[in-house]
Structure 1
Amino acid sequence: MVENILYIVAAYLIGSVPFGYIAGRLNGIDLREHGSRNIGATNAVRVLGKGWGIPVFVMDFLKGFAPLLYMKHHLGGDLTAFTPEQMGWFLGVMFALILGHTFTCFLKFKGGKGVATTGGCLFALSPWVGLSALLFWIVSMCITRYVSFSSIMAGVGMIAAAAVELIVMDGACSVADGMVLGLLTLILILVTVKHRANIVRIMNGTEPKAFAPKN
């Protein structure tokens, strides 16, 4: 038990590493004072350019993917064979990684919106769920060109895909399955709350669209 608690603490600290903030500082810029004032990859692309924004996304993705994949194999590797206790520890690490990114202890608990790190966690959880969330994001982006709205739609996609994989394909819903769906729902709520300002701007018609021509 102590070992697994330490894994959760380590996961939070890993998730807390603010790669966007670091990239900004390397360029003499505090991302919290520019663009959307967020340290995530989207604002890094807007303020610093793709040359810095894409590496920020990759690192935010990997800090979710790599630790959770390690935890998955540490617990046996087969999610379908996890006991409720094992699933609890696994999901605890997953949530700690995402909370670290969104509420980083290194920046007074003001972090990013959790999308890239959640994406990394999803691919470690299940490639099917990760790819489904990505597909929802791509389709939404093609239709709306709003990164924020598409991120929320990706969250809807991850829950739908997880429900299909865990319940429909298996033909039953175990306690561990319910724990997964419960956490994914909580993550969707968290991501939506973190995007509340974007939602208001979309409703007001002031949210910038991706790939929009610059004046």
Structure 2
Amino acid sequence: MPPSLITLLVVLAAYLLGSISFALVASRLFGLADPRTYGSKNPGATNVLRSGHKGAAIFTLFGDAAKGWLAVFLVSRYSSEYALGSYAVGWVALAVFFGHLYPVFLRFKGGKGVATAAGVLLAINPWLGLATLGTWILVAFTLRYSSLAALVAAAAAPAYALLIWGGDSRVLVVGIIAMALVGKHWQNLQRLMAGSEPKIGAGKSR
């Protein structure tokens, strides 16, 4: 099979993997309501936490992060064996990430991508992932706004990538992911400015 065809199939597989919503999987496993029916109506870990079930939120967080990490790790591990080319990792990173944002299984209405982006960045470069994740944790636990933490981490990620790689093409991949994260959190930014954004741990009533 030609390497170009293998690359195309791998990218498609990454998109389908990204389209799996662990928020819905967790909600069904733990007998919770569909996360698209309460809170922010976003199928993500922060909104699942609003159900009051921390276990389901943790399952969602790790599931969404793991799919991003797994897709990038596998293509990084086997790209040379199948002659996929130097750009395969970048394409797969974007495919699994945008699969989460626009999942075919949920009529292209997915989550906001924070956990999946974290998994992708950790697989691309552990130091980049840890620095970005550390930024999110610092803001989230200090100010208790998940959306603000995501926006600050998204802004910081390309800067960290530049420090690590300089002008490498991987910086562009990180930049695209960062811009998509900011775009997905635009309404959150408006609510933050208006003082109406719920904090981490707020219940359904918020």
Common fold by TM > 0.5: yes
* Structure-2 separation of matches of 1:86 and 1:40: 33
**Mapped pair 1:203 → 2:193:** yes
Q: Is the 8 A contact 2:46 2:200 kept in 1?
A: no
Q: C-alpha distance in 2, partners of 1:105/1:8?
A: 14
Question: Tell me, which stretches of 5 or more residues in structure 2 are unaligned?
Answer: none
* Secondary structure in 2 matching 1:200: helix
Counterpart code for 1:113: K
How far apart, CA to CA, are the structure 1 residues paired with 2:47 and 2:6? Answer: 36
Is residue 147 of structure 2 the alignment partner of residue 159 of structure 1? no
Counterpart secondary structure, 1:87: coil
CA distance in 1: counterparts of 2:193 and 2:95, whole angstroms: 32
The aligned residue for residue 28 of structure 2 is 25
How many angstroms does 1:76 deviate by? 4.0
Report % sequence identity: 35
User: Matched residue of 2:50: which SS?
Assistant: helix
Match of 1:191 among 176, 181, 204: 181
Shift in alpha-carbon separation, 1:211–1:132, aligned structure 2, 3 A? same
Aligned counterpart for 2:76 among listed residues 53, 72, 76: 72
Structure with the larger helix share: 1
**C-alpha RMSD of the superposition:** 2.2
Contact 1:20 1:41 in 2 (8 A): yes
The worse-fitting range, judged by mean Cα deviation, of 191-200 and 117-126 is: 191-200
Cα offsets for 1:135-190 (capped at 9, x unmatched): 211222244221001012111222121111112xxxxx3xxx1x211121111111
CA distance in 2: counterparts of 1:37 and 1:212, whole angstroms: 14
Contact 1:133/1:156, CA 8 A, preserved across alignment: no
Which structure exhibits the higher relative contact order, with contacts defined as CA atoms closer than 8 Å and separated by 6 or more residues? 2
Alpha-carbon separation, structure 2, partners of 1:87 and 1:37: 38
The answer (yes or no) to whether the contact 1:8–1:92 under 8 Å persists in 2 is yes
Q: Which amino acid aligns with 1:153?
A: V
Distance 1:50 1:12 in 2: 28
Q: 2:50 aligns with which of 33, 46, 52?
A: 46
Query: Could you tell me how far 1:39 is from its partner in structure 2?
Result: 0.4
**1:211–1:39 CA distance, 2 compared to 1 (3 A):** closer
Corresponding position of 1:130: 129
2:50–2:201: 8 Å Cα contact kept in structure 1?
no
Tell me the residue number matched to 2:10.
Answer: 7
> Normalized against structure 2, the TM-score is what?
0.90
Q: Secondary structure at the match of 2:87?
A: helix
Is 1:14–1:100's contact at 8 Å kept on the other side of the alignment? Answer: yes
Q: Deviations over 1:55-112 (max 9, x none)?
A: 11111010000121010111249xxxxx9x8332111000000011010100100000
* Structure 1 runs (4+) greater than 6 angstroms displaced: 212-215
Worse-matched range after superposition: 91-100 or 149-158: 149-158
